[in-house]
Amino acid sequence: MTAPAHAMNSLSTGAAARGAAVTVMSTVRGDGRASDGGGESGDVCAADDTGAVGDAGDSMSVPITLARIAEVTGGRVDGDAGFTVAALKSLDSARADSLSFCAGGRHAAALKTTAAGALLLRAEDAAYFPRHKILVADPYLAYARASALFAPPAPPPGVHPTAVVAADAAVHPGATVGAYSVIGAGAVIARGAVVGAHVFIGDACVIGEHTVIDAGARIYAGVSIGRGCRIASGAVIGAPGFGYAAAGENIDTAAGENSGDGGGDGDGGGGETIDRTCTWARIEQLGGVVIGDEVDIGAHTAIDRGALDDTVIGDRVKLDNHIQIAHNVRIGDDTIMAGCVAVAGSAVIGKRCQFGGRASVLGHLSIADDVRVHAGGFVAKSIAQVGDYSSLLPAMPAARWRRIVAGLRRGGAG
């Protein structure tokens, strides 16, 4: 796999080898915001009892002026622009040196009682808070942008003495390689990239500028990751896809679908004849994984390498924890998936799609741009029309559930 030009250019001064919420969605909301189901659209506060977002954690102690925060968020300071805050906190836990946020008038009481020194607010809610304010059109988006100012700083560049770096790997002098990490032959680690402790990066991988790979992630050979990505601990990228060919007579093809992509994993259908002596021949997975820019991949998420062609993740895709992306899948730019989503082999997902937690997509299907699949949704056919799709019944008393299912069997549901 050829290294992208931007990665190679960033290594011009260091070509010589040397020694990435969104919370789990229970629904997909129409306002473009991932939700855990705790807050209503347009009514979100940094208060633990809303379920929308909790404490952002203690920040660095370096004070940040409201003027700087307004610059980053596109807001307007109502108060002292030189006032400084040292932490981003929930309304409940905020102190006099903390910044918090709230959107929605029904939390007016919390605005009057919080100890926060400054808030991100809509102009129509400004009267509820007597201290310093930054007035913004969307406080939740402003909170997201402001949070970057409070993130821990990147570690200093350099290669830890316990790291193992192949002689022909190219690690930029401005990159960081943590303790006990392994960098394979021919790998490229670009400027500003951070490789945490105990990370494995295989041969011929490319890690783009300012991409962060957290401790314990595994990147198999031949994977290309773009700029500004974040790969969480335990993620596995580029492992062999699940591809097998059935060997025997009278074979049911439920687990091995013949297709031109060489993948071998089907959609669970197939014939009814089963040979109990059937064996399975492994299909070597010869493709790679290509990940675009500004992609976030959560903890213990797996993205399999392609069988013949590459598995492709578009720019700015956001994947939560414990997601399975099978071989040959293609995911379009700006798509977001909550925890435990599973996408079977060779599925093609459009741009700007949203998937709630535990949604699943069968193999070899196509999903149009801007489709929203709600939590637990089971996609068994291709989706060509934009819209919201659901298939999971929410929890209810068992007697009522049985009546509903009985009605569905009788064809009483529309």
CA distances in angstroms from 80 to 59, 76, 120, 134, listed in the order given: 21, 11, 14, 10
Q: Rounded to an integer, what distance in angstroms lies between the CA atom of residue 27 and that of residue 372?
A: 9
H-assigned helices in 171-312? none
Residue 411 CB partners (closer than 8 Å, separation 6+): none
Amino acid sitting at position 226: G
CB atoms within 10 A of CB 235: 25
Indicate the length of the chain as a whole number: 414
CB atoms within 10 A of CB 5: 8
Residue 103 CB partners (closer than 8 Å, separation 6+): 42, 43, 44, 45, 121, 122, 125, 138, 139, 140
Are the C-beta atoms of 328 and 261 separated by less than 8 Å?
yes
Of the candidates 49, 58, 24, the residue with the CA atom closest to the CA atom of residue 102? 49
Which sequence positions are flagged as catalytic? Answer: 327
Where do we find the tokens 């559930």? Answer: 401
| Phi, psi torsion values for 399, nearest 5 degrees | -65, -40
Are the C-beta atoms of 285 and 327 separated by less than 8 Å?
yes
Where do we find the tokens 């059935």? Answer: 246
| Phi, psi torsion values for 146, nearest 5 degrees | -70, -30
Q: Rounded to an integer, what distance in angstroms lies between the CA atom of residue 22 and that of residue 258?
A: 37
Are the C-beta atoms of 168 and 185 separated by less than 8 Å?
yes
DSSP for 32-57, written as a single string: S-EE-SSSBTTB-BS-GGGSS-----
